[in-house]
Structure 1
Amino acid sequence: MYRFLLSRRWLITLLIAVLLIPTTIRLGFWQLHRHESRVARNELIARALTAQPVAFDSLSAPGFAVPGDLTWRAVTATGEYDAAHEFVVRKRTDSGGDKIGYFVVTPLKLSDGKGEVLVNRGWVASGESAAAYPAVPATPAGEVTVTGRLRADETAAGSGIRDRGGLPDRQFNLISSTQQARESGITLLGGYLELTGTSPAPAEQPELLPEPNHSDIGPHMAYAVQWWLFTAMIPVGCWILIRREARDRAEEAAEAGAEAPAEPVPAA
């Protein structure tokens, strides 16, 4: 009844089904691991943002690479802005995500003399010409205390942004303390501070960047469940197809037997 399973067509079909099962199981676990990574990232950000701010220079030093477990850590720094080494970062969006402009990054010379810290002061709109330096609110005069989020240096590999040369003066594609230390010759602590507040508060400042979203867990768990449901459907679907073909073959055989001419009865 099931000899048709030895046909070439069915052997290929069953082989594909056997190969699909471990593949879809692995895809489900891949999505599960992405879900777990997203949840862990959200928890890390939430802890970092709600922690008591610590001094930037207690976590970083010149040439320091900010690790993942310190990213978004609430930090503070006191000093005077080094406006002479200010620069802007091209092709960045505002808090709404629909306007293209610049991030304004200004080094802050620490009062304790340990060096300078890059401070991303926020976003400003583009001017009429991309070659011209945009209109940027002046830095506060005198000593200030800034608070913000610790961020790692941007890289082309990590951000997907191509770091092309030949840009207008004081315009860059990435925020990198390593790159700025090389360009300017000043002593910069690794990473940078993403500004959330300044004391005393300035009269005017760039648009501050919003807090990172750490509540959205994404669709990865739903995708994992979908892949595993598909895994379960493969053998069920194969069995349904096998039973259907067996039934069709049985019906065809019965019809062929009914349509066969009856043998003549010999005369007495």
Structure 2
Amino acid sequence: MYRFLLSRQWVILTLLALVLIPVMIELGFWQFHRHENRVAHNKRIEAAITAAPVAVGELTSPGHAVADAERYRRVTATGTYDDENQFVVRRRTNSDDQVGVHVLTPLVLDDGKVLLVNRGWIAADGPQTELPRIPAPPGGEVTVTGRLMPDETTAKSGIKDLKGLPDGMVMLIGSAAMAEVLDRPVLGGFVELSAPAPDGGTPQLLSAPDHGSIGAHMAYAVQWWLFTAAVPVGWVILVRRELRDRAAAAAKESDTTPTGPPATATV
């Protein structure tokens, strides 16, 4: 009755089902692990941005590479802005996805070291081949609070470090490169300013990182596992349907087959 399962068509169908089951199970676990990683990432961000700020010197120093565990940590620093050596970071967007630039201003600390402060976003004012008008930073000694960030690289950001830009314009924020330009010791990484807010709202402060969304990875994992369960169920349904079709065909053939000798005519 089940000899049809040895036919080429059914062997291929069965092998395909046997291959799909482990593949879809693995895809489900892949999405599940992405969900777990996203949840853990959100928890790290929340812990960092809700923790009490610490002095920037406790977390970074010249040449220091900001670790993932230090990223987004709130830090404070006191110093004087070097408004003569401000930079703009090309092709950055604000919360409304408008393209502009970030304003990068060195903050000279009391010990002579420099902290790079990303003061926020401004419009580009035309093609980004010329420097826009950069809002002046507050004068005198200031105390700033912000989120500590690692140096930007092409590998991590996907942004090409273009050459030949106008003076005062960069593609990536790198403390080592800035140390050469400023001829001062620069603390590793940089700070995204969160306080104090600029007068007049310009530059626009950067939004805190999103740590509430977990995406749809868990839903995708469940979908893949449901698909996995559907494969053997579907295979059984196809087998039973094939059996019914074969039984119906056999019954029809039996009904149309003569059961006795043909009648002879009499005269």
TM-score bracket for this pair, using the shorter chain length? over 0.9
SS in 1 for 2:187: strand
Look up the match of 2:157. 159
In 2, Cα distance between the equivalents of 1:179 and 1:256? 87
1:45 maps to amino acid: I
TM-score, with length taken from structure 1:
0.93
Task: Tell me if structure 2 keeps the 8 A contact 1:137–1:204.
Answer: no
1:177 maps to amino acid: S
Cα deviations by residue, 1:167-210 (Å, 9 ceiling, x for unpaired): 122111111212322344321111100001139x6566411011
Distance 1:204 1:258, change over 3 A: closer
1:123 aligns with 2:121: yes
Look up the match of 1:144. 142
SS in 2 for 1:38: helix
Paired residue total = 264
Task: Tell me if structure 1 keeps the 8 A contact 2:135–2:202.
Answer: yes
Look up the match of 2:102. 103
Look up the match of 2:40. 40
1:96 maps to amino acid: D
Look up the match of 1:186. 184
Q: 178, 184, 195: which one pairs with 2:193?
A: 195
In 2, Cα distance between the equivalents of 1:243 and 1:254? 16
2:175 maps to amino acid: S
SS in 1 for 2:144: strand
1:242 maps to amino acid: V
Look up the match of 1:90. 90
Look up the match of 1:75. 75
In 2, Cα distance between the equivalents of 1:204 and 1:143? 20
1:217 aligns with 2:214: yes
Identify the range of structure 1 (182-191 vs 165-174) with the bigger mean alpha-carbon deviation: 182-191
Look up the match of 2:261. 264
Task: Tell me if structure 1 keeps the 8 A contact 2:119–2:205.
Answer: yes
In 2, Cα distance between the equivalents of 1:194 and 1:134? 20
1:225 maps to amino acid: V
Distance 1:35 1:13, change over 3 A: same
Task: Tell me if structure 1 keeps the 8 A contact 2:122–2:202.
Answer: no
In 2, Cα distance between the equivalents of 1:238 and 1:69? 49
TM-score, with length taken from structure 2:
0.94
In 2, Cα distance between the equivalents of 1:160 and 1:241? 49
Look up the match of 2:251. 254
Identify the range of structure 1 (22-31 vs 181-190) with the bigger mean alpha-carbon deviation: 181-190
Give ranges in structure 1 of 5+ residues lacking alignment.
none
Q: Once the 2 structures are TM-superposed, how far is the Cα of residue 165 of structure 1 from its aligned partner?
A: 1.2
In 1, Cα distance between the equivalents of 2:256 and 2:177? 88
Look up the match of 2:52. 52
Q: Once the 2 structures are TM-superposed, how far is the Cα of residue 95 of structure 1 from its aligned partner?
A: 2.1
In 2, Cα distance between the equivalents of 1:125 and 1:79? 27
Percent identity of equivalent pairs: 53
Task: Tell me if structure 2 keeps the 8 A contact 1:144–1:198.
Answer: no
Look up the match of 1:26. 26
2:68 maps to amino acid: G
SS in 2 for 1:112: coil
Give ranges in structure 2 of 5+ residues lacking alignment.
none
In 2, Cα distance between the equivalents of 1:256 and 1:183? 92
1:237 aligns with 2:234: yes
Look up the match of 1:173. 171
1:56 maps to amino acid: V
Task: Tell me if structure 1 keeps the 8 A contact 2:60–2:187.
Answer: yes
In 2, Cα distance between the equivalents of 1:257 and 1:188? 93
2:104 maps to amino acid: V
Q: Once the 2 structures are TM-superposed, how far is the Cα of residue 261 of structure 1 from its aligned partner?
A: 2.7
CA RMSD of aligned residues (A): 1.7
